[in-house]
């Protein structure tokens, strides 16, 4: 049986309700681990220990008098430092926000609290959530719990590292271009990128505080140690924004009960021009072989054109970013775009063009997005889920060189641009689809590999159910060895 800090949130919530452990005991377990282990990990950047202890004590008192308990009653959680938390510093890793203390919670954070969760702290990310590594001037660097020389990913890197290292029961993060799925894959934990629009993003930074704006494709979602935890959290988070709640309701379909052999599974293992590093490809293949051996119908398929999907995603994401950039930054990028050779298709050139794109170009991107969403919908009439890589490599070494455009990553011994890591996560995001990243084992390089499980729009629970079935065949979360033998107050 797993040590207490590595038990799933579902198990811990049940143990709290059954009074097998108190909320105070569980909170003290996590706070003790943060004190011992976080200095070398850099995952948790702000603690709210005193308030958390008061709330944990009150949670225990409520259970003692048989008061109604929410699904997350007494569960200590952490929150990515770009989600506003009432009375608790929220910096988004930006020096400009070093002293920012919101007056209210982000809507998703408020839903966690209403369900009984205890927010004990905030986790690290890149400044303005703008990188796939997690480091900033305020709090320094977050390390990968599997290898401190490597990044946990980003932008929800502190979140994934905290969950993997057993510093938190559950985490709330966000995803625009892969910010939940990248660190989940690189730290060996579970995440759900919900279908776009089903979890409110009010109170997320960016945009800057006081600038209400819903960035297209951006979502808020959980990171956890099991697929069941994702379902537990989805039930709490999903629902209309309060502004819209008077007019509509959300009832996500349940996942149909299926025997193993009844799943129809498509696999998109590779794409011309987008090689996947061997450790990732090997673990994806091993998972597919396990599914086939269990009797599942598994077929290779190519649902959409990856290059087109990535182009559309970046035009929409970066076009949305343009609206919240400081004027000077926007002017510099627009000037750069105007002087580019049309033949230059490098990532920096694409970024500048997308920031400065015209309204006509943005409208055309939305037309392409609509066609891609229709293609995915047709594809999912034949399959229940699609399996594909989350990232092209396992966790990369820290690279904080200031010239981001010059950064490179290594894929099968060759060098590819740093910005070209996101093909599969961004292709899925452009179509608003739900996607779970699930652990697929440890690669030949000793690092975790994550598989992306994609489902039809609004069929989030199908992706979660498949992730649970997959874990039954290949295993699920594995604690990082350097953190598995550390302190725990007790076992259940």
Closest CA to 108 of 223, 255, 29: 223
Mean predicted confidence (pLDDT) in 337-364: 91
Burial class (CB in 10 A: 0-12, 13-18, 19+), 294: middle
* Residue 80 among the catalytic residues: yes
Angle value at C-alpha 269, between 263 and 275, nearest 5 degrees:
170
Q: Which residue has the higher pLDDT, 24 or 345?
A: 24
Please give the mean pLDDT across all residues of the chain.
Answer: 95
Predicted confidence (pLDDT) at residue 489 exceeds the cutoff of 50: no
Average pLDDT, stretch 400-417?
A: 94
Nearest by Cα to 18 from 60, 76, 81: 60
Total residues found in the chain within this entry: 492
Sign of CA dihedral 184, 237, 373, 295: positive
Q: What is the pLDDT of residues 130-184, one digit of tens each?
A: 999 999 999 999 999 999 999 999 999 999 999 999 999 999 999 999 999 999 9
193 belongs to the catalytic site: no
Beta partners for residue 463, in sequence order: none
Each residue's pLDDT tens digit, 44-65:
999 999 999 999 999 999 999 9
For the question of whether the overall pTM of this predicted structure is more than 0.85, the answer is yes
Provide the pLDDT for residue 40.
Answer: 98
- 346 counts as catalytic: no
Q: Which of 23, 134, 155, 174 is catalytic?
A: 155
The CA-based dihedral angle spanning residues 479, 480, 481, 486, taken in that order and rounded to the nearest 10 degrees: -70
User: CA–CA separation, 279 vs 161, rounded Å?
Assistant: 21
Q: What percent of the chain has pLDDT over 70?
A: 98
What pLDDT does 175 receive?
98
Q: For residue 487, is pLDDT > 90?
A: no
Residue with tokens 């759900």: 192
pLDDT at 488: 52
Catalytic residue (choose from 23, 168, 174, 179): 179
Domain ranges of the chain: 4-263+463-484, 306-375
Structure tokens at 116: 């009984």
User: Residue 77 pLDDT more than 50?
Assistant: yes
Name the class of domain 4-263+463-484: alpha beta
Report the C-alpha gap between 279 and 185 in whole angstroms: 13
Q: What pLDDT, on a 0 to 100 scale, did the predictor assign at position 213?
A: 64
C-alpha 201/C-alpha 194 separation (Å) is 12
- Reported as a single tens digit per residue, the pLDDT across 202-230 is 999 999 998 876 789 999 999 999 999 99
- 231-241, pLDDT tens digit by residue? 999 999 999 99
Say which of 23, 80, 130, 134 is annotated catalytic: 80
Query: Is residue 351 helix, strand or coil?
Result: helix
Q: Is the peptide bond before 96 cis (omega within 30 degrees of 0)?
A: no
The per-residue pLDDT for range 432-460, each reduced to its tens digit, is 999 999 999 999 999 999 999 999 999 99
What b/e sequence results for 365-394 when a residue is b if at least 16 CB atoms lie within 10 Å of its CB, and e otherwise?
beebbeebeebbeebbeebbbbbbbbbbbb
């Amino acid at each position: 049986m797993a040590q207490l800090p590595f038990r799933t949130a579902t198990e811990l919530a049940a143990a709290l309700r059954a009074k097998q452990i108190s909320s105070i005991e569980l909170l003290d377990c996590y706070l003790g681990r943060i004190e011992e282990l976080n200095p070398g990990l850099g995952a948790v950047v702000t603690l709210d220990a005193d308030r958390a202890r008061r709330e944990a004590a009150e949670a225990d008192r409520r259970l003692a008098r048989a008061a109604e308990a929410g699904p997350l009653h007494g569960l200590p959680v952490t929150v990515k430092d770009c989600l506003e938390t009432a009375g608790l510093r929220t910096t988004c890793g930006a020096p400009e926000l070093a002293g920012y203390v919101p007056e209210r919670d982000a809507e998703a954070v408020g839903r966690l609290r209403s369900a009984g969760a205890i927010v004990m702290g905030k986790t690290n990310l890149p400044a303005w959530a703008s990188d796939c590594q997690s480091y900033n001037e305020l709090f320094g660097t977050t390390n990968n719990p599997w290898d401190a020389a490597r990044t946990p990913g980003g932008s929800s890197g502190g979140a994934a590292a905290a969950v993997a290292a057993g510093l938190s029961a559950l985490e709330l993060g966000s995803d625009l271009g892969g910010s939940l799925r990248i660190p989940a894959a690189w730290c060996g934990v579970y995440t759900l990128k919900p279908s776009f629009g089903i979890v409110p993003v009010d109170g997320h930074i960016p945009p800057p505080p006081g600038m209400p704006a819903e960035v297209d494709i951006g979502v808020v979602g959980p990171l956890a140690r099991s697929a069941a935890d994702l379902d537990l959290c989805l039930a709490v988070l999903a629902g209309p924004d309060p502004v819209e709640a008077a007019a509509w309701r959300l009832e996500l379909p349940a996942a149909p009960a299926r025997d193993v052999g009844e799943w129809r599974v498509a696999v998109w293992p590779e794409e011309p021009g987008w090689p996947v590093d061997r450790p990732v490809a090997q673990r994806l293949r091993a998972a597919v072989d396990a599914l086939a051996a269990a009797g599942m119908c598994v077929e290779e398929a190519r649902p959409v054109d990856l290059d087109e999907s990535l182009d559309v995603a970046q035009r929409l994401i970066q076009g949305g970013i343009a609206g919240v950039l400081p004027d000077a930054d926007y002017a510099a990028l627009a000037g750069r775009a105007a002087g580019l050779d049309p033949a230059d298709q490098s990532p920096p050139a694409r970024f500048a063009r997308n920031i400065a794109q015209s309204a006509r170009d943005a409208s055309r991107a939305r037309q392409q997005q609509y066609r891609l969403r229709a293609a995915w919908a047709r594809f999912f009439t034949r399959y229940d889920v699609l399996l594909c890589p989350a990232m092209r490599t396992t966790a990369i070494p820290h690279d904080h060189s200031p010239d981001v455009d010059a950064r490179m990553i290594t894929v099968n011994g060759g060098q590819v641009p740093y910005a070209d890591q996101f093909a599969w996560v961004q292709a899925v995001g452009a179509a608003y689809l739900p996607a779970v990243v699930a652990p697929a084992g440890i690669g030949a390089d000793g690092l975790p590999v994550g598989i992306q499980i994609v489902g039809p729009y609004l069929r989030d629970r199908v992706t979660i159910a498949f992730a649970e079935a997959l874990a039954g065949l290949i295993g699920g979360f594995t604690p990082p060895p350097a953190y598995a033998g550390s302190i725990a107050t007790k076992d259940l």
